[in-house]
Copies of this chain bind each other. A is one copy, B any other.
Amino acid sequence: MILTVTLNTALDITYRVRALRPHASHRVSEVTERPGGKGVNVARVLAALGHEVTVTGFTGGATGRVVQEKLAAVPGVVDALVPVAGATRRTVAVVDDRSGDTTQLNEPGPTITPSEWSAFLAAYDDLLPAASAVALCGSLPPGVPVGAYAGLVRTARSFAVPVLLDTSGEPLRRGVAARPDIIKPNSDELAELTGSHDPLRATQDARRRGAGAVVASLGPEGLLAVTREGRWQAVPPASVRGNPTGAGDSVVAGLLSGLVEHLPWPARVVRATALAAATVQAPVAGEFDRGVYEELLTRVTVSGEVSAA
């Protein structure tokens, strides 16, 4: 199985309103709820691709129970979340009916106690031997040490399980130094990590900082992968338009599934790019249509070069 870690799981709530106006009262016309947090989203995409996935991280309170009830309904996903006393956070996306624009409200998440963090580390150790790969995804809730991902990367490496890290800021900086196999920053995260706004230079710099492979997500310009084996850029068709929410999580799922299927790098970045584009085009944020994805697979262009041995 593939293991995904979401330390800050969420109940993602979407509200549709006519148009959000500050300091006014709004009737919500439609409410949707789904389990969220980056690693949970990655797991859902991996399961849709036919992989067995186990999700771990934290769950607590009434919102945590809803997250778990909804996860239980996703075929192929095994729930190995660790219970905590605090309540799983909510995120609220308020979508304007007219423009489709989204206003986001993110709760901070529960404070994790030292004994809850220890319980997670024990669960992680128990899960790793059965994992073909692990993804460490998203922000850290209050109480989790800022070097948490660095430790989780080292543990995965000690079990010889390939590890992908998708986070930002100081947790990314520290995590990279622990030598994860893959990181997947977007342009902003890459610039914050390296100080450079030039994608190729920043990507190479991130590798020097410790990442085995760096796959930079460049929005409409697709993915730039710089790896030991070579360097590739995959670009989606120009016609792709929609909601980018969840596209990054689809990239992670594409890269991880390609890794465990032993696909060569060009095929991995094509898959990840097609999945991201299908996610952008889907009417529901974070979902994708299998037919659209398979059609996009044939329309992503990839260029690059193999490293000199």
Question: Chain A residues in contact with chain B, CB under 8 A?
Answer: 15, 17, 20-29, 31, 62-63, 65-66, 69, 92, 94, 96, 101-108
Q: A103 near B22 (CB under 8 angstroms)?
A: yes
Q: Chain B nearest CB: distance from A24 CB in Å? A: 7
Contacts of A96 in B (CB 8 A): 22-23
Residue of B nearest to A99 (CB): B23
Contact of A65 among B17, B62, B107 (CB under 8 A): B62
Q: A28 near B103 (CB under 8 angstroms)?
A: no
Contacts of A15 in B (CB 8 A): 105, 107
From known contacts A65-B62, A66-B62, A107-B31, infer whether A102 and B21 are also in contact, taking CB-CB under 8 Å.
no
Contacts of A65 in B (CB 8 A): 62
Q: A22 near B25 (CB under 8 angstroms)?
A: no
Q: B106 near A27 (CB under 8 angstroms)?
A: yes
Sampled A-B contacts (26; CB under 8 Å): A15-B105, A15-B107, A20-B22, A21-B103, A22-B96, A22-B103, A23-B102, A23-B103, A24-B103, A24-B104, A25-B103, A25-B104, A25-B106, A26-B103, A26-B104, A26-B106, A28-B105, A28-B106, A28-B107, A28-B108, A31-B108, A62-B65, A62-B66, A62-B69, A92-B105, A94-B105
Residue of B nearest to A23 (CB): B101
Contacts of A26 in B (CB 8 A): 103-106
Q: B22 near A101 (CB under 8 angstroms)?
A: yes
Residue of B nearest to A61 (CB): B66
Q: Chain B nearest CB: distance from A295 CB in Å? A: 31
The copy count of this chain in the complex is 2
Contacts of A29 in B (CB 8 A): 108
Residue of B nearest to A63 (CB): B62
Contacts of A17 in B (CB 8 A): 105
Contacts of A104 in B (CB 8 A): 24-26
Residue of B nearest to A66 (CB): B62
Distance in angstroms between the alpha carbons of A15 and B22 in the assembled complex: 14
Additional A-B contacts beyond A17-B105, A22-B96 (8; CB < 8 A): A20-B23, A22-B22, A23-B96, A23-B102, A26-B105, A27-B108, A62-B66, A92-B92
Distance in angstroms between the alpha carbons of A65 and B69 in the assembled complex: 14
* Nearest 4 Cβ contacts at the A-B interface: A25-B104, A23-B101, A62-B66, A20-B22
Q: Chain B nearest CB: distance from A20 CB in Å? A: 5
Contacts of A31 in B (CB 8 A): 107-108
Q: Chain B nearest CB: distance from A134 CB in Å? A: 28
Distance in angstroms between the alpha carbons of A25 and B106 in the assembled complex: 8
Residue of B nearest to A105 (CB): B26
Q: Chain B nearest CB: distance from A23 CB in Å? A: 4
Distance in angstroms between the alpha carbons of A63 and B92 in the assembled complex: 15
Q: Chain B nearest CB: distance from A9 CB in Å? A: 15
Distance in angstroms between the alpha carbons of A29 and B65 in the assembled complex: 23
